[in-house]
Amino acid sequence: MIIFIRNIGMDAGHIDILDFIESGMTGSDFLDKEFIGDIEIMQLKDPMTNKFEFHGLIAVEPEVLALKLIDELNNTLLLNNAVKLREFVKRDKINDPRLKYRPVTAIEEKRKADRRRSDLDILIEKEYSEVVIAEMMDK
């Protein structure tokens, strides 16, 4: 499962995200070989306000551990920034529920624009790091 970490702050790096995720793991989590994979930092720029947002993505397996981490680390601090965690859902035209039903032409569309911010500039900084946590703890 990919965990989305909202509002990580501009100073957060890949190691900070990894340390943050590990802080939510207890000793019993290391009994099986858990897997932490890709860590990505997304920098979003809103062209209307010229403000930046920074979010993190991290792959965690098994799914049970990822859900536990979301519960334990949600609304906590990462480098003095309150962060929110949730499961990351990649949206595309195939799984977008807004495109399943076409609006009836007799009903007037009152929305002037899409509520989602579709015009964001997105820069993703990737770090591919396959880390098996259980093996790190043995050292």
Beta strands in the chain (DSSP E): 2-6, 35-46, 51-61, 76-78, 81-87, 121-127, 131-132
139 within a domain of the structure (yes/no): no
Token pair of 117, please? 């911010």
Helices 14-23 and 63-73, axial angle in degrees (round to 10): 90
Residue 80 CA from chain centroid, whole number = 18
Give me the residues paired with residue 124 across strands.
42
120 within a domain of the structure (yes/no): yes
Token pair of 78, please? 């990462």
CB–CB of 43/52 below 8 Å? Answer: yes
Give me the residues paired with residue 58 across strands.
3, 39
What pTM was computed for the model?
Answer: 0.71
> Count of domains in the chain?
1
9 within a domain of the structure (yes/no): yes
85 within a domain of the structure (yes/no): yes
What is the residue type of 53? Answer: E
- Cβ-based burial of 86 (10 A; exposed 0-12, middle 13-18, buried ≥19): exposed
Token pair of 94, please? 């195939």
115 within a domain of the structure (yes/no): yes
Per-residue pLDDT tens, the chain, 139 aa: give them.
999 999 998 999 999 999 999 888 876 655 555 678 889 999 988 888 888 899 999 999 889 889 999 999 999 999 999 999 999 988 777 766 666 665 555 555 566 665 666 667 777 766 655 544 444 444 4
Q: What is the CATH number of the domain that holds 122?
A: 3.30.70.330
